[in-house]
Structure 1
Amino acid sequence: MNTKPQLLRRALALAALLGASASALAAGGDLGQMQKQATNWTAISMFAMFVLGTLYITKWAASRTRSAADFYTAGGGITGFQNGLAIAGDYMSAASFLGISAAVMAAGYDGLIYSIGFLVGWPVITFLMAERLRNLGKFTFADVAAFRFKQTPVRMFAASGTLVVVAFYLIAQMVGAGQLIKLLFGLEYWVAVVIVGSLMMVYVLFGGMTATTWVQIIKACLLLGGASFMALSVLWHFGFSPEAMFAGAVKIKTDLAMKDGKTAEVAASIGQSIMGPGNFVKDPISAISFGMALMFGTAGLPHILMRFFTVPSAKEARKSVMWATSWIGYFYLLTFIIGFGAITFVLTNPQFTDAKGALIGGGNMAAIHLANAVGGNVFLGFISAVAFATILAVVAGLTLSGASAVSHDIYATVIKNGEADSASELRVSKITTIALGIVAVVLGIAFEKQNIAFMVSLAFAIAASANFPVLFMSVLWKGCTTRGAVIGGFMGLVSSVGLTIVSPSVWEATLGYPAGSAPFPYTSPCLFSMTIGFIGIWLFSVLDKSARAKVDKHGFLAQQVRSETGIGAAGASGH
């Protein structure tokens, strides 16, 4: 029993060594234009204080994590208000904070599709999912999907869907973290990604859901406070007139186009274009597909769905969603202001751009540079620490959901037929955590140049095409069968991943094929792959005449009673 404190002390020492190495690297070497960022000791010290604080929380949480229920769901003891903040913390990821503001800075009005799309998924969860999930599940969304179906095939599908979504979501977080640490410390990008991956593994391995929840709550409060200050500073500069802010952004975009040699008429058109659609989403099919991914993907994200099992009752689950929606809606309004603020404060400031006019640290760093512009080094340090905390908390939640898919859904339920003891399940979960950490680091290095909000939208498209149709149909349609859920779910999963790979976003931007050569012309596959998933579930359920299909349909009434009333769900979280 004494091994855990020893391991934790070693992990803390490793993290301290990583931090010291980063500081040493930041202090030395010829870093060129990055030098002034690398020696920003105010920012670095605030950053270090936050890392040490969250490691302390992990140490405290490790002493409270004694069982699988503690590790996965914090023992089901989180209140609705706390869980609402933690869900908001999970959802307000690096993609939201860094990626949306960068997208608004680059494309203007079109960046708003992210803010609206990410937000409108919440009514789906509020009215269709939250209460049913809490009443039917224990640790993972597979518990819900497999409630009346044959366990092995449904859990294999659920684990596959979870791991693919987690992998795509992890890419975005690791890219954001790598660019942030690179900017702050002046490190090589790959070194920064390795440091982030190592810290993330420490959090999850030792703290589990308790540590992840409290890091998310603290980070959500800090992020909401920091983003509010940034947005108010931008608006104050324009006399709290959004119209003046937009006019200033249009003028700067016009001036930059003139500087690039465009005629006055063309430059004016480019400047004005940021106030209308078309810079990012080029056609109606892309807009519909992209919007569907953001709206329905929310209800298929495994790390968000997992949070409903951390509360003691369905009432607290509903309260969680109400609070989360409030915080998230407010935050997304702020990101839009921050994006336009970045146009006016950052794009024309030589302190934040290189000789070619590109942002130092890459386009995803718009919000970080804006923090420096409105609040100086101290606020830059604060926002950098909060952005890093944002990434660590979300990565920890993602890793936890991926680890639970392997340990709870595949190992404990499929391989051990539900007879695995808590200790062995935890051991498998921790091995999976290490494997996922390594995968996240490798993929984070491979996708260095991508906009992180866009990378997350691909994860949403896969969640909407695979996980959401199975959840929706299994809970709300009596005729759904094991065969239909599994085949249709895999059809949605495979088609969404396949179409994503052959879309311009991966085929051209990441794999390097020439422009216009992508076999699938749209940026998001969701309109097509989600339709394939739903049709597959319906068709193969209708055609299923097996004896198992009768059992599946017969179990619908018991599932409905439990999902609507909670009868029999009292011990669900204490597996």
Structure 2
Amino acid sequence: MTLAEGVSGSNPTLNISIFGAFVVITLFVVFRASRNQRTAADYYAAGRAFTGAQNGIAISGDYLSAASFLGIAGLIALNGYDGFLYSIGFLVAWLVALLLVAELLRNTGKYTMGDVLAFRMRQRPVRAAAATSTLVVSLFYLLAQMAGAGGLISLLLGIDGNVGQAVVISVVGVIMILYVLIGGMKGTTWVQIIKAALLIVGAAAMTLWVLGKYGLNLSTLLGDAAKNVSGALDPGKQYGKTGITQLDFVSLALALVLGTAGLPHVLMRFYTVPSAKEARKSVVWAIWLIGIFYLFTLVLGYGAGAIVGPKAINAAPGKGNSAAPLLAQALGGPVLLGLIAAVAFATILAVVAGLTITASASFAHDVYANVIKKGEASPEKEVRVARITAVVIGAAAIVGGIVANGQNVAFLVALAFAIAASANLPTILYSLFWKRFNTQGALWSIYGGLGVCLVLIIFSPAVSGPATAMFPGGHMDWFPLTNPGLVSIPVSFLLGWIGTMVSGERNDAKYAEMEVRALTGAGAEKAVVH
């Protein structure tokens, strides 16, 4: 079924034209941004030239993926209160990033998470572990976004069939690679700023439009939604059926709240500002913008439930993901639907570009420059390797997206958050706040959290068993929860503690130096030395 069949009045040609205009404009911006790109700091950290406000807008653009716009609106439209809990989890996560991570990472590191972990530990094994975790998280996030591109094409532009969607996935991947190759972090940041502005303005316009139909009275809107969607205002519709589903929600919430502060593409954004003060300011800006956006999703979700109705949403391509486009078509016809199509694809392009530059920087800076070349690689050679890596990662994402197209890819995003919460965050917090923490503890925490998380996901209902699983015919789901966070996160913290305690390595002087730098910013502009 194409969009033209699923949404009466759709104009795929108009949708594609609007999207094409966005691509041309942003490619021009990326080309302009690349003219002053000369050093590794320019490529990885945009020359540390962005203000806190600019970086905060870019962070919100990096964080608000298509899942936030299309997915959460659909969850609220179909499940009401339980769907809005996703918005709350994503937003609360930023308090962890603000209070525990942003300023300290900006002061301690240089370009990547590996810089922070290697500051007071044996450099090569810790950097290799950090790069492994970063690449796994980024790859799964990329696969979900690229596979989602195929579904969105079917949903928004009327292109159907595996071949057509494979072509579109490839086009999205090539544009993403061009953003990263030409513009580096500076160009990618401007794309994210433009995308964030489009997304928030578009969501705000639709929110005011919906509220206008109900006399700007939210209570009237909620009452109308409750008439169309059974249990829309009651908690527990999605996660309150059994004890297992309730535990599943706790596990998911834990992964979302703690995973954000460990997402490598979010962490890397803290290095694009000139000071720790600007890093804090950027997170405050991000919290405000993301919080406001998630309030918009409340109105959009319940608006779709009230105006479109769950029957029409479930009958359309993409089911819940079609809630926001269906609402746009109901409100403003094909023109508003075309704008929403452009915003959705802008969202995918910005997120995948941010993920690609993060993964390529981690490999080039941590693995190539510091593990393979032992710190002897020139900045020019390091950037060249990063560009080559970006092409390889982009190609892998295209192939993976084509293979995964049409499959259940929701678990890929959950896996990315769960891995970040399990492998990255415990190691970062231990490294920043525990004097006794050492190399063996970091390796046990990263590899242990990563391994446990992957095993539990593979043997969970997200991959096999139920009809909604990736392999419905399989019966390997001995682990009952679809998200492993409730188990894998505590296990990672425990493994980090055990690994540290059984090792005799200890460097209190280096921790004291790191603590001073983290709290004061002294020496933050210098390279990490060993």
Q: TM-score w.r.t. structure 2 length?
A: 0.93
1:301 equivalent in alignment to 2:301:
no
Distance in 2 (alpha carbons) for counterparts of 1:512 and 1:35: 30
CA contact (8 A) 1:108 1:275 kept: yes
CA contact (8 A) 2:4 2:12 kept: no
1:463 equivalent in alignment to 2:439:
no
Match of 1:162 in 2: 134
Distance in 2 (alpha carbons) for counterparts of 1:230 and 1:454: 29
| Cα distance, 1:71 vs structure 2 | 1.0
Match of 2:200 in 1: 224
Distance 1:452 1:277, change over 3 A: farther
1:527-573: CA deviation from partner (whole Å, max 9, x where unpaired): 1101111000101101112xxx123x431111101101111113459
CA contact (8 A) 2:157 2:341 kept: no
| Cα distance, 1:381 vs structure 2 | 1.7
| Cα distance, 1:173 vs structure 2 | 1.7
Tell me which amino acid in the other structure corresponds to 1:568. Answer: G
What pairs with 1:278-289 in structure 2 (closer than 5 Å)?
278-280=237-239, 282=241, 283-289=245-251
1:453-502: CA deviation from partner (whole Å, max 9, x where unpaired): 66423211110000000000011000101011111211101111111121
Match of 1:20 in 2: none
Match of 2:323 in 1: 366
Match of 1:327 in 2: 289
Distance in 1 (alpha carbons) for counterparts of 2:320 and 2:247: 27
1:202 equivalent in alignment to 2:178:
yes
Distance in 2 (alpha carbons) for counterparts of 1:510 and 1:428: 38
What pairs with 1:507-546 in structure 2 (closer than 5 Å)?
507-508=464-465, 509-514=468-473, 518-545=477-504
Distance in 2 (alpha carbons) for counterparts of 1:570 and 1:348: 54
Unaligned runs of 5+ in 2: none
Distance in 2 (alpha carbons) for counterparts of 1:379 and 1:303: 31
Distance in 1 (alpha carbons) for counterparts of 2:247 and 2:152: 34
Unaligned runs of 5+ in 1: 1-29, 254-270
Match of 1:71 in 2: 43
Distance 1:167 1:391, change over 3 A: same
| Cα distance, 1:349 vs structure 2 | 8.3
What is the count of residue pairs matched by the alignment? 519
Distance in 1 (alpha carbons) for counterparts of 2:4 and 2:330: 21
Distance 1:505 1:441, change over 3 A: same
1:103 equivalent in alignment to 2:75:
yes
Distance 1:81 1:35, change over 3 A: closer
CA contact (8 A) 2:14 2:335 kept: yes
Match of 1:495 in 2: 452
Match of 2:397 in 1: 440
Tell me which amino acid in the other structure corresponds to 1:537. Answer: G
CA contact (8 A) 1:481 1:541 kept: yes
Tell me which amino acid in the other structure corresponds to 1:231. Answer: T
Q: Which shifted more, 194-203 or 511-520?
A: 511-520
CA contact (8 A) 1:169 1:455 kept: yes
Distance in 1 (alpha carbons) for counterparts of 2:420 and 2:286: 20
Distance 1:452 1:246, change over 3 A: farther
CA contact (8 A) 2:207 2:300 kept: yes
What pairs with 1:53-68 in structure 2 (closer than 5 Å)?
53-68=25-40
| Cα distance, 1:150 vs structure 2 | 0.5
1:396 equivalent in alignment to 2:396:
no
CA contact (8 A) 1:363 1:451 kept: no
Match of 1:14 in 2: none
What pairs with 1:89-168 in structure 2 (closer than 5 Å)?
89-168=61-140
| Cα distance, 1:102 vs structure 2 | 1.7
SS of aligned partner of 1:148? coil
Distance in 2 (alpha carbons) for counterparts of 1:363 and 1:273: 14
Match of 2:236 in 1: 277
Distance 1:54 1:197, change over 3 A: same
Distance in 2 (alpha carbons) for counterparts of 1:118 and 1:220: 16
Distance in 2 (alpha carbons) for counterparts of 1:412 and 1:313: 25
From 531, 540, 550, the counterpart of 2:506: 550
1:420 equivalent in alignment to 2:377:
yes
CA contact (8 A) 1:139 1:309 kept: yes
| Cα distance, 1:526 vs structure 2 | 0.6
| Cα distance, 1:192 vs structure 2 | 2.0
Distance 1:386 1:534, change over 3 A: same
CA contact (8 A) 1:273 1:279 kept: no
Tell me which amino acid in the other structure corresponds to 2:221. Answer: M
1:506-525: CA deviation from partner (whole Å, max 9, x where unpaired): 22344423487511101210
Tell me which amino acid in the other structure corresponds to 1:403. Answer: S
Match of 1:258 in 2: none
SS of aligned partner of 1:506? coil
CA contact (8 A) 1:95 1:176 kept: no
Distance 1:285 1:184, change over 3 A: closer
Q: TM-score w.r.t. structure 1 length?
A: 0.86
1:316-349: CA deviation from partner (whole Å, max 9, x where unpaired): 0011011110000111111122112222233378
Distance in 2 (alpha carbons) for counterparts of 1:397 and 1:162: 13
Match of 1:484 in 2: 441
Distance in 2 (alpha carbons) for counterparts of 1:244 and 1:517: 46
CA contact (8 A) 2:369 2:382 kept: yes
From 303, 326, 338, the counterpart of 1:341: 303
Q: Which shifted more, 557-566 or 34-43?
A: 34-43
Match of 1:256 in 2: none
Distance in 2 (alpha carbons) for counterparts of 1:110 and 1:449: 26
Distance in 1 (alpha carbons) for counterparts of 2:300 and 2:260: 23
CA contact (8 A) 2:464 2:475 kept: no
SS of aligned partner of 2:36? coil
CA contact (8 A) 1:101 1:336 kept: yes
Greater C-alpha radius of gyration: 1
